[in-house]
Amino acid sequence: MLRGLAGTWAVLGALLWGCGLALLQGGMLYPQESRSRERKELDGLWRFRADFSQNRRQGFEQQWYRTPLRESGPSLDMPVPSSFNDVGQDGRLRSFVGWVWYEREAALPQRWTEDLGTRVVLRIGSAHYYAIVWVNGVHVAEHEGGHLPFEADISRLVQSGPLSSCRITIAINNTLSPNTLPPGTILYKTDTSKYPKGYFVQNTNFDFFNYAGLHRTVLLYTTPTTYIDDITVATDVDQDTGLVNYQIVVQGSEHFQLEVCLLDEEGTVVAKGTGGRGQLQVPSAHLWWPYLMHEHPAYLYSLEVKLTAQTAAGFVSDFYTLPVGIRTVAVTQSQFLINGKPFYFHGVNKHEDADIRGKGFDWPLLVKDFNLLRWLGANAFRTSHYPYAEEVMQLCDRYGIVVIDESPGVGIVLAQSYSNVSLQHHLEVMEEMVRRDKNHPSVVMWSVANEPASFLKPAGFYFKTLIAHTKALDPSRPVTFVTNSNYEADLGVPYVDVICVNSYYSWYHDYGHMEVIQLQLATQFESWYKTYQKPIIQSEYGAETITGFHEDPPLMFSEEYQKGLLEQYHVVLDQKRKEYVVGELIWNFADFMTDQSPQRPIGNRKGIFTRQRQPKSAAFLLRERYWKLANETKCHRSAVKSQCVGNSPFTF
């Protein structure tokens, strides 16, 4: 039976979804080319300068944005997208905290500067963390938070004179404070016998390197001045009819017409509609199924939206095409259902992380990672511990990889980080995140945080508010946060739909003693389930492993220990997944960079792949397991037992 909340969604969802996103101001559609839209990527080399002055404010005092950066002092070449930390040979830049300055000239097509019916938008995919943007010395945007896009309409600026190019300056500050997401603290070391004057360090409570810079594409794109600002779809299924509820927001005119058309993968029109909101019905719909759950996973329709508007200059049209996957998500007391069928998450936690580029977006890396995920038989991952690039989410839609989409709420452990200021910012980040990712069928659940100090008194109100807000933004998806608190002390878990628990038995506790894992893990699951009767995901488990270290009998840090530890977890997971455990996500997909510490031998080594994406022994173990799980699901679904031959990946 559907648990109360999920049942409520089923009834109220159709009524609420349309108004749910009303809190968000403006859309954030992925910029695409169409008959009415152009885009110009500004990837490549930018000019760069870190402000090493004592107060880090020299750039503002001397107004570096006013003139080309080369005129106010020396600058470096800096690739975009990339973190700035690992590309140079200067150790001071690797650990730099404060303002850095990026700049580049963009040549503008003549039509963009002369046609007043064209809207020119500057879009920054991700700038870590606080960014101020100027175009030709004029302030155009400011944004807080590193992992989500922001935009500025620069039409007036570039159309106000005889311009053939514009100069874009972006100042970025990577300082983390108790009120940022993730939070951090700046610690001034004042003992002059030990530290030079003004010495400070950035402290954080998360376990990944605080890479910074322009991590994703910066681009210019155009729309007509009357344009499709936002599209929201929410899908449902009635018997075998797919229902696509849509809502479209238009800016620039009140006199317009909207036509929508849904096409299948062959390009055949399967449904049509008009107006800013409505429901399209697709008889015998192809549902969007996760990878390995169906012979034809990840079926995507295309929603073609055409806007026609009457303006002073005559008729204008705008065109936007949105991929749409028709699927449902629901949660019961013990199951996670996709299209009404039990779904078991067998996958990974990832990071946006690689040699040299740090957190910079990189197509070859992205494709390699998805090839590895599919080789592994993984059907899901969590975007630990922040929203990933939009192109990642698009590939998940296309390949059927299910996503738990996590906010940058990682390391919320100080009382100050539970203040109203922090909560307000966290609410806004959830709005930006839902606004960006709401239409991805691959996203099946929101995670508002990872391992907060959820036992602290203010945590109850904080998570109650945050989760309620996220549900108001999107009533169609369950919401969680990932906990490592004690089940009796956790004040946030009463508000989640699915309990996500991290544990590191025989690694951080009872280290070296794999023999205690089964008992401790079974106790963990039983305690949580008895208290809450909600489905549970083992959202992290794993062991630090230096590739090439071998010890038999297994010793910590060897490949044998990692495998042995995983096998112990799997024994209990196999028992509990028959009851209420609905998923297992290994920590981590690949080794990744962290701050320096005695526990981290050049980063975190809990990857089943190295940072260069080569497999450790545990990758083969997981591969066998995941394909076996996939075959079981398939057999369970189709009840064609004869198709379930062994554990071979190639039987599916």
* Interacting residues toward ligand GCB by CB under 6 A: 206-207, 385, 450-451, 484, 502, 540, 587, 604, 606
Smallest gap from Cβ 542 to ligand GCB, in A, equals 7
Smallest gap from Cβ 540 to ligand GCB, in A, equals 5
Smallest Cα–Cα separation from 538: which of 575, 569, 571, 501?
Answer: 501
Element (H, E) at 631: helix 617-638
Nearer to ligand GCB, 463 or 587 (CB): 587
Enter the tokens of residue 107: 């040549």
DSSP for residue 596: -
Smallest gap from Cβ 417 to ligand GCB, in A, equals 16
Smallest gap from Cβ 568 to ligand GCB, in A, equals 17
Smallest gap from Cβ 486 to ligand GCB, in A, equals 14
Residue nearest to ligand GCB (CB): 207
Residue burial 471-510, b: 16+ Cβ < 10 Å; e: rest: bbbbbbbbbbbbbbbebeebbbbebbbbbbbbbbbbbeee
CA 638 – CA 632 distance, rounded (Å): 10
The values of phi and psi at residue 606, to 5°, are -85, 5
Nearer to ligand GCB, 165 or 599 (CB): 599
Nearer to ligand GCB, 225 or 538 (CB): 538
Strands 277-282 and 241-251: antiparallel
Nearer to ligand GCB, 383 or 450 (CB): 450
Smallest Cα–Cα separation from 621: which of 367, 350, 400, 377?
Answer: 377
CA 230 – CA 251 distance, rounded (Å): 9
CA 629 – CA 343 distance, rounded (Å): 11
Tokens 């840090």 correspond to what residue? 557
CA 259 to chain centre: 31
| Secondary structure (DSSP) of 528-591 | HHHHH---EEEEE----B-TT---SS--TBSHHHHHHHHHHHHHHHHHHTTTTEEEEEES-SB-
| Partner residues linked to 274 by β-bridges | 259
Strands 479-483 and 443-450: parallel
| Secondary structure (DSSP) of 461-530 | HHHHHHHHHHHHH-TTS-EEEEE-S-TTT-SSGGG-SSEEEE--BTTTBSTT-GGGHHHHHHHHHHHHHH
Nearer to ligand GCB, 226 or 349 (CB): 349
Are 100 and 213 a contacting pair, CB within 8 Å?
yes
Smallest Cα–Cα separation from 180: which of 383, 412, 483?
Answer: 412
CA 381 – CA 387 distance, rounded (Å): 12
Catalytic residue among 144, 390, 451, 559: 451
Smallest gap from Cβ 61 to ligand GCB, in A, equals 38
CA 345 – CA 336 distance, rounded (Å): 9
| CB atoms near residue 594 (< 10 Å) | 21
Smallest gap from Cβ 586 to ligand GCB, in A, equals 11
Smallest Cα–Cα separation from 45: which of 86, 78, 69, 85?
Answer: 78
Please state, in angstroms and as integers, the Cα–Cα distance from residue 341 to each residue in 290, 324, 330, following that order.
11, 20, 9
Smallest gap from Cβ 62 to ligand GCB, in A, equals 39
Smallest Cα–Cα separation from 301: which of 284, 283, 321, 316?
Answer: 321
Nearer to ligand GCB, 225 or 484 (CB): 484
CA 508 – CA 122 distance, rounded (Å): 46
- Mark whether 304 is an active-site residue: no
Backbone angle region of 227, left / alpha / beta, with phi > 0 → left and psi within -120 to 50 → alpha: beta
Smallest gap from Cβ 118 to ligand GCB, in A, equals 45
> Following CA atoms 560, 385, 178, 499 in sequence, which dihedral angle do they give, to the nearest 10 degrees?
-90
Smallest gap from Cβ 596 to ligand GCB, in A, equals 15
Enter the tokens of residue 113: 């500067």
Smallest gap from Cβ 604 to ligand GCB, in A, equals 5
Enter the tokens of residue 37: 């839209």
Smallest gap from Cβ 348 to ligand GCB, in A, equals 13
Which residues are catalytic, by number?
A: 451
